[in-house]
Every structure is written in C-alpha cells, then in structure tokens.
Amino acid sequence: MIEVDGLRKQYGDLVAVDGVGFSAGEGKIFGLLGPNGAGKSTTISCMSGLLTPTDGRVRIMGHDIVHEPRAAKQQLGVVPQELALYEDLSARDNLTYWAAAYGLSGTGLRDRVDSVLEYVGLLDRASDPPKAYSGGMKRRLNFACGVVHEPKVLLLDEPTAGVDPQSRARLLDLVRAQAAKGTSVLYTTHYMEEAQELCDSLAIIDHGKLIAMGTLAELRAMVGERDLVRVVGHFDPERIRPALAELPDSEVLTADQDSVMLAVKGAALQLPAVLQALAAAGGHLRETTFTEPSLETLFMKLTGRELRE
Amino acid sequence: MRFLIASVVKDLKWRLADPMALALWVGIPLIIGTLVGLATGGGGGSGTLKAKLLVVDQDETLAAQLLMGAFSQGQLAEMFDVEEVDLASGEIRMDNGDASAMLVIPADLATAVLSEEPAVLRLVTNPAQRILPGIVEQVLEVLVEGTFYLQRLFGEQLRMMTEELPQGESMPGDAAVADIATQINRAMSGLEGTLFPPVILLETVVDRPETEAFNFALLFFPGMMFMSLIFVAQGLSEDLWNERKQGTLRRVAVSPAPLAVFLGGKVLTAAVLMAGASLVGMLLAVVLIDVELSRLPLAVAWSTLGGLSMLCMFMLLQLLATSQRGGGLLVSVVMFPLLMIGGSFFPSEAMPGWMAMIGGWTPNGLTVEQLKMVMAFDYQWGELGRSAAALAVGAAALVSLVWWRLRTFAVQ
Ligand SMILES: Nc1ncnc2c1ncn2[C@@H]1O[C@H](COP(=O)(O)OP(=O)(O)OP(=O)(O)O)[C@@H](O)[C@H]1O
Ligand SMILES: [Mg+2]
C-alpha cells in the first residue's frame, strides 16, 4: 500500500514536486508519466526517504517515511533510474550485499539470491561482474537488487531507460510478476506505451504537478474521440485561427509561427480540408503528422508540448 | 552486526578485485624507501641525517679531546656533527631544539681520570628526538667505561703523553687523538669481563630509554612502512565518492541498514587491509633489519590504529570537497606535507628541531615515533597508551563528523 498526500519538494526557488498525491493498493501498478525534469525522480526520492519532503506525507504500508523510516524502508524496494551496482563484484555478491542490508542471512539469504537470479535470467552469469554485462543485463540486475528482499512496495524509476526491446519486454514482465504477488508498484516513465501497457491507473506529471490522474480508460476519455494533427511550417497565427475555426469537429490547441496543433475528429478524412484551409490562410507547410487518441495526445492537449520534447 | 560483516566482506572483495592498486599501496613506499636508502646510505652522502652534538668542554685537556674524538671517526662521524660551544649558548640551542644532545665535560675530568677520582659527565638530550640522543648516550657509556679501563691499563702511558706535550700546547694533534680513540674502541670489546667499578659517572639529564644494538635502517623503516598504510587510507577514503558515483550509497540510504554500520564496515575493512600491509612490512623488517619477531604483533596493532586515524581524517576531507577530483586533491594537499613532517620521507632525527616538534603532533608523526620504539627500543606502556588514546579519540571524533556529513552527501 502506497499513500502519498500533498507531497511538495522545493530546491530554493524551484518547486520540483508540487502537491503530488496518489495511492496504490496491494497488487496494483500506479504509473507516473512525465517528461524530463517533471519531478518523477524527486517524487521517488521523497518516497524512499532519501530526501526530506518540504511538505506532505508518504506512507509505506502504513508507516510514515519521515517518522518511522526503519519500518517503512524495511517494506520498500527501490529500483533507481541510474544503475546502482558494484561493477567489480559478481552479480551474486551484489545481491547478497543488498539482501544483507535488509536483514536476510544464512541459507534464507542464499536461497533468495539464487531464486532472484533465476527470476531475472542471470543465474548462468551469476559469477560474472556487471562490468562484463550488456546494458540490458545490468538493468535486470539493477531490478533484482531492488526486489531481492521481497518488498511489499516497489518504486521503479524509469527502469527500462536505454534498454533494447527484448530486455524491456522482460523487465515489464518482471514488474507484472511483482504486482501479481501482491506488491504495490509505482512505475515512473516517459514512455507512454509502457504506461499504457502496464499500469492499472496513472497520473501525468509536468513541472512537479499532477495534471491528470485516473485509470487508462478515464484518461482516454479525457482526450475524447479526436485525433491529434500537427503541422510544421511557417504560419501567421492571426490568420490561421479564424480559418481553422470553420472546420467541423475540430479545435485548435496551439498555433504559433512554426507549428500548429489541432484536435480533429476522423483526421484521416478531414486532413485535406485542414491543409487546404492552412494554405489558404497563407501558411507554408513542411510536415504533417496525425496521431490517434493516446496518453501522448492527452499530454499534448494538456500542455501543448510533446512528451519527449 | 550481520550487515557490518557483509559490508566488510563486500569491501574486501571489492578491493581484492583490484590487486594492482593494493600492490601499489604497499609497493610505492618500498620503492621510495629504497631510493631514499640509496640516496642517503649508499652514496655515503649522509648529509641529511646528522645528529648535532654540542660539547661544552670545561676541561680542555686530552681526556675531553678523546671523548670528542670518538664521535668524529668511522661510522659515528657519519652520524654526528660535533660542535664545541660554551655552556650558555649550548643551553639556549638545546632549548630551541637545535641539537640532538649536549655533553658537558667537567673541568676536573682529566685530573679525575688520572687520579682515579669521581667525575660527572652531564648529557642533556633533546626530547623531540628519540634515537640519535640514544646513540650519543650509548657511545658515551662505552667511552666512560673505556676511559676508566684505559686509565687502569695504560695510566702510565697516558700520564707520559700529557707530560711530553710541548710547552704551550694543552693537547695533542687531531691525528693523535683519533688514533687513541680508535685504540679505545678496539680495546673495549676485550675489556667487557673486567670487574672494576667505574669512577666517572655519566648523568643524563633527560631520561631516555636505553638504546639497544642500533640499526641505521630503523630510522627510516617505520616511516616508510607507515607510508603504505597512509596510501591505503588515501585509497579507501576515495571509496565514499565511488560509492556515491555508482549509486550504491543511495541504495544503502534507502535501505533500513544504518549508514553508521556501513561506515563502520569501511573502517573495519581498512583495519584488515592495514593490518595486512603492516604485517608484510613488519615481516620484511624482521627478515631484513633484524627486528625481533616478538615485537611484531604490537607493531602491527599500533600502526593499524595510526592508519585508521589517518583514514578518518582523509574521509572527512573527501566529504568536505564538492567533487571527487576536489576530494582527491584535498587529501593529497594534506597528505604530502604530513608525510614530510611526520617522518615518512626522512626520519625526525634528521629534521630541524621545530619540524620534528610539529611532526610529533601529527597523527602520522606520533604513530611513526612510537612505532620506532615499539619496533626496536624499550617502549613505555604509559606513553604508548596515552598516544593510543589520543589517536583513538581523534579518530572517533573525525568519524562522527564523517557520519554526520555522509547523510547529506548520500543524496546530493
Ligand atoms: N538536487 C537538486 N537541486 C536543485 N534542483 C534539482 C535537484 N534535483 C532535481 N532538481 C530539479 O528538480 C526538477 C525535477 O527533477 P527530477 O529529477 O525529479 O525529474 P524527472 O522527472 O525524474 O526527470 P527525468 O525524466 O529526466 O529523470 C528538475 O527541474 C531538476 O532540475
Ligand atoms: Mg528521473
């Protein structure tokens, strides 16, 4: 069980996390989707007791992370965004150390390390140090280090960053398997496909604030039925807005000198009319894309920016 | 407790994964030591290591000249720089720590020797130095006895020699004195069994522990050996940055394991590595320079304690810096002067008085000075205990600061 309430973290004047609140029950995966610098890692650092929140509270299995750090941390597994491994020690030594940090010992520890190694598919490479691993294998070991003590709550900070598709699919399976065992998972990412695939419910974070939250279906409904059309070129915003306003079932989201973005119902059929209207209003067109409704379009609709900008 | 052991095992494995670095830590001091040895011992240019012996000659006769001559020949000449002074200026210079020892030869020495009456030689030694004053004392003791027996055996000849001196000259030439002194030295070994009580008494003003058979390498070896422990401390102190850089420090911080235990693991690991390094050094000392095997355990324990205090200091310096490079630089900037004045490059006996004095207050200087005693001389438990307490208290204070700082360091 994860409960976050009114979480706020300030660095001087910069508010990195601003009033974030959500919860995730047993066996649930909660996704936190946001672009670079949105405040995802800061949220996780506050939740794991690494940073002291400026305000708000975090409870892990009912234990307040600030007031009962030992009890909360005991239930918590963290998979950090940056690899956190001893590159020169074997995978087994790495896991053994982290298991010991959570109080495991003896045969219990050894059995657990072996089963985690098997679980992440590294048993045959267990004696090799991570410096001899591929990027994907390192990510898997990084994940294994976070779950070796069988935490009740798992915080994952972009665990698939820079990983090949095969390893990524493997990692997502591992996350699902954790949730299936009853672990509450917080999964941050800036890949909307991952969030869509994995999460029971999710929130979109931008500039430290949650700008949308709900189940995937609820968020999809917020986008509506309309596709997102984006045209790049050279435009006169003053003339374009009235010209586009005459098109049926469409809404201009943003319009500036070098790009225009609008939501259009049935864009595949409407596209010629849109382009014509733009040309008639004196625009020079260079590139056009349209996307079906998704979290990405929701993010664009809410912020006027692309998720990966 | 389990996490402490796990931390030590982890850190040791981590270190052993890089045996080259370990070899360098122990090897570099040995190389430097060899170079220093070649530069000072091998070429005969022992300019850096000379004890200044001040002599106040109130006697001005052959007997005094004999005494002084003994310090100016053979091996002793390489170690001692004898200078005649008057009592007042000699005392001032001793107070300033300018010399290893001052010998006051009483006015009645010659008469006393010749007429078998008691006389007192006074030796003032420099408390900031340990070994060279000890040698002075040892040589004097032998000379005093020797002079006495000489007088017993060759009294007639001596009397004749003094009487035969040309008018206006109160003493024979340098060559003659050196010659006689050489004969004294040679004669001494044969005289050991003789049972006459000595007439001349030697009084040492500052009590020095008795020196035993002296080995020149002992001046250099402890400082050199401790240098490898200092390198171990330097290398291990960088681990804090490595742990942070590779994200493992954060992992510890988010785990329920206390950072203090993690830090304790680092200190214990250092203790194991340092004990290992000093064991290697001490075994070399046993083999190469005849240090007694029975002194080895205390020497290893003592140097490990000293090494740990250095580690704690270096760790704090690392954490005060804002980058790993800055930390490394800061440690180096502090370490090299400390090595210098703490007796690792050249022994305190060869330093100017003020430098030896400051060096004695540094943790490494303190360790090295006591290590010399532990390795080869009659160390005193009281003094050793006080020094150990000072090092332990200092280390504990430093490591508390490290722990306090580590908590914010982990998340920066
Ligand atoms: N120690 C710090 N001091 C000052 N500002 C910080 C600090 N750490 C993070 N920030 C700022 O806080 C904001 C949120 O950063 P955070 O790392 O949480 O973003 P993120 O969502 O994890 O981004 P990414 O997807 O790139 O990992 C950023 O503007 C960042 O510059
Ligand atoms: Mg991040």
Mean pLDDT of all residues in B286-296: 80
pLDDT of residue A307: 64
B411–A contact, CB cutoff 8 A = yes
A102-119: pLDDT as tens digits:
999 999 999 999 999 999
How many Cβ pairs closer than 8 A exist between chain A and B?
A: 73
Last residue in a domain, options A176, A200, A220? A220
Judgement on whether residues A59 and A133 belong to the same structural domain of the protein? yes
pLDDT of residue B205: 60
A103/B256 touch (CB, cutoff 8 Å), yes or no = yes
Judgement on whether residues A163 and A61 belong to the same structural domain of the protein? yes
Report residue A80's pLDDT band, with 50, 70 and 90 as the boundaries: very high
Report chain B's terminal Cα–Cα distance, integer Å: 28
Last residue in a domain, options A181, A196, A220? A220
Mean pLDDT of all residues in A9-32: 94
Dihedral sign of CA atoms B393, B396, B397, B398 in order: positive
Ligand 1 and A303: CB distance under 6 A: no
Mean pLDDT of all residues in A234-250: 87
Q: Whose CA is nearest to atom 28 of ligand 1?
A: A37
**Residues from chain A contacting residue B251 (CB–CB below 8 Å):** 78, 80, 84, 98, 101, 145
Nearest to B247 among A45, A51, A80 (CB): A80
- Gap between the Cα atoms of A217 and B252, Å rounded: 39
A309 in a domain, yes or no? no
- Residue that has been written with the tokens 């598709």 in this structure: A165
Judgement on whether residues A84 and A19 belong to the same structural domain of the protein? yes
Closest-CA residue of chain B to A145: B251
* Phi-psi map region of A214: left, alpha, beta (phi>0 left; psi -120 to 50 alpha): left
Distance (angstroms) between ligand 2 centre and the Cα of B196 equals 90
In percent, the amount of chain B with pLDDT more than 70 equals 72
A83/B18 touch (CB, cutoff 8 Å), yes or no = no
A133 in a domain, yes or no? yes
A41-77: pLDDT as tens digits:
999 999 999 999 999 999 999 999 999 999 999 999 9
**Residues from chain B contacting residue A88 (CB–CB below 8 Å):** 14, 17-18
A84/B10 touch (CB, cutoff 8 Å), yes or no = no
Judgement on whether residues A48 and A161 belong to the same structural domain of the protein? yes
Q: What is the domain-level CATH number for residue A211?
A: 3.40.50.300
Helix, strand or coil for residue B18?
Answer: coil
pLDDT of residue B394: 93
B257/A51 touch (CB, cutoff 8 Å), yes or no = no
The set of residues, in sequence order, having a beta carbon less than 8 Å from that of A95 and lying 6+ positions away, is A113, A116, A117, A141, A144, A145, A148
> For residues A109 and A99, is the Cβ–Cβ distance under 8 A?
yes
A307 in a domain, yes or no? no
The set of residues, in sequence order, having a beta carbon less than 8 Å from that of B180 and lying 6+ positions away, is B66, B69, B172
Q: Whose CA is nearest to atom 30 of ligand 1?
A: A37
Judgement on whether residues A97 and A141 belong to the same structural domain of the protein? yes
A83/B247 touch (CB, cutoff 8 Å), yes or no = yes
Closest-CA residue of chain B to A100: B3
A297 in a domain, yes or no? no
Give the ligand 1 atom nearest the CA of A11.
Answer: 4
Q: Whose CA is nearest to atom 24 of ligand 1?
A: A36
Judgement on whether residues A127 and A146 belong to the same structural domain of the protein? yes
B252/A80 touch (CB, cutoff 8 Å), yes or no = no
- Gap between the Cα atoms of B159 and B114, Å rounded: 7
Mean pLDDT of all residues in B132-140: 73
Burial of B184 per CB tally in 10 Å (0-12, 13-18, 19+): buried
Judgement on whether residues A22 and A131 belong to the same structural domain of the protein? yes
Ligand 1 and A11: CB distance under 6 A: yes
Assembly ipTM: 0.83
Report residue A237's pLDDT band, with 50, 70 and 90 as the boundaries: confident
**Please, where in chain B does CATH 3.40.1710 lie?**
51-190
Interface test with B, best of A86, A105, A127, A152 (most B CBs within 10 A): A86
Q: What is the domain-level CATH number for residue A245?
A: 3.30.70.1150
Q: How far is B327 from chain A (nearest CA, A)?
A: 21
Name the phi and psi angles at B157, rounded to 5: -60, -40
Pocket test for ligand 1, best of A41, A156, A192, A306 (most atoms within 8 A of CB): A41
> For residues B291 and B371, is the Cβ–Cβ distance under 8 A?
no
Judgement on whether residues A109 and A205 belong to the same structural domain of the protein? yes
Distance (angstroms) between ligand 1 centre and the Cα of A16 equals 6
Nearest ligand, CA of residue A36?
A: 1
Helix, strand or coil for residue B256?
Answer: coil
Name the CA radius of gyration of chain A, rounded: 23
Q: How far is B12 from chain A (nearest CA, A)?
A: 10
Most distant pair of Cα atoms in chain B: their distance: 94
Mean pLDDT of all residues in A244-255: 84
Ligand 1 and A34: CB distance under 6 A: yes
> For residues A292 and A227, is the Cβ–Cβ distance under 8 A?
yes
B182-240: pLDDT as tens digits:
655 555 444 444 434 445 556 656 534 444 444 566 777 888 888 889 989 999 999 99
Ligand 1 and A41: CB distance under 6 A: yes
pLDDT of residue B223: 85
A120-157: pLDDT as tens digits:
999 999 999 999 998 889 999 999 999 999 999 999 99
B2–A contact, CB cutoff 8 A = yes
Judgement on whether residues A250 and A193 belong to the same structural domain of the protein? no
Q: Which two tokens stand for residue B339?
A: 């090595």
Domain of A15 in residue numbering reads as 2-220
Ligand 1 and A309: CB distance under 6 A: no
> For residues B131 and B214, is the Cβ–Cβ distance under 8 A?
yes
Distance (angstroms) between ligand 2 centre and the Cα of A188 equals 8
Judgement on whether residues A216 and A239 belong to the same structural domain of the protein? no
List Cα–Cα distances, B6 to A193, B206, B236, in angstroms: 40, 51, 17
A103–B contact, CB cutoff 8 A = yes
B248/A86 touch (CB, cutoff 8 Å), yes or no = yes
Comparison of pLDDT for B164 and A201, the residue scoring more: A201
Closest CA to A121 of A171, A181, A83: A171
Judgement on whether residues A274 and A246 belong to the same structural domain of the protein? yes
Mean pLDDT of all residues in B94-119: 77
Report residue B312's pLDDT band, with 50, 70 and 90 as the boundaries: very high
Last residue in a domain, options A220, A249, A266? A220
Q: How far is B397 from chain A (nearest CA, A)?
A: 25
- Residue that has been written with the tokens 């929130």 in this structure: A203
Q: Whose CA is nearest to atom 17 of ligand 1?
A: A41
pLDDT of residue B193: 44
Q: Whose CA is nearest to atom 18 of ligand 1?
A: A39
Question: How many domains are there within chain A?
Answer: 2
Helix, strand or coil for residue A128?
Answer: coil
Judgement on whether residues A185 and A243 belong to the same structural domain of the protein? no
- Gap between the Cα atoms of A84 and A75, Å rounded: 19
B245-261: pLDDT as tens digits:
999 999 999 999 999 99
Distance (angstroms) between ligand 2 centre and the Cα of A211 equals 18
A308 in a domain, yes or no? no
Interface test with A, best of B242, B248, B261, B407 (most A CBs within 10 A): B248
Count other Cβ atoms within 10 Å, centred on residue A225. Answer: 12
B51-190 maps to which CATH number? Answer: 3.40.1710
